[in-house]
Amino acid sequence: MEQIQLELQVRQEIGSGEVKKLRAAGFLPGVVYGGDEKPVAVKLLKKHIDRVLRQHAGESLLFNIQLVDGGKKAADFVALLKE
């Protein structure tokens, strides 16, 4: 199974009004959770995930996630996309 490289940024914008502004700026909000770690609010450029999903339509994909917090690499892990 192919692994897709994806860089996510930790987001500080919480709440429906702030998330609406993020979407207007071209970002897609999300949450990374699982294992023993606390959930982390994240954002990524919508055009990046749209391109990946278009190229791999209908396939199950593993994502190699690089989590970036304030320009510094915070974590690396493999994840499945859910909804």
pLDDT tops 70 at residue 1: no
Task: Give, for 43, the enclosing helix (H) or strand (E).
Answer: strand 37-45
Contact 79, 4 (CB under 8 A): no
Sequence-separated (6 or more) residues with CB below 8 Å from residue 3:
61, 62, 63, 64, 78
In terms of Cα–Cα distance, which of 15, 48, 44 is closest to 29? 44
The pLDDT assigned to 9 comes to 93
pTM above 0.85, yes or no: no
Report the C-alpha gap between 62 and 60 in whole angstroms: 7
pLDDT in tens, 40-82: 999 999 998 888 888 877 777 888 889 998 888 888 888 877 6
pLDDT digits (tens, 9 = 90+) for 17-44: 999 999 999 999 999 888 788 899 999 9
Mean pLDDT of the chain: 86
- Cα-based torsion angle of the residue sequence 71, 6, 34, 23 in order, rounded to the nearest 10 degrees: 80
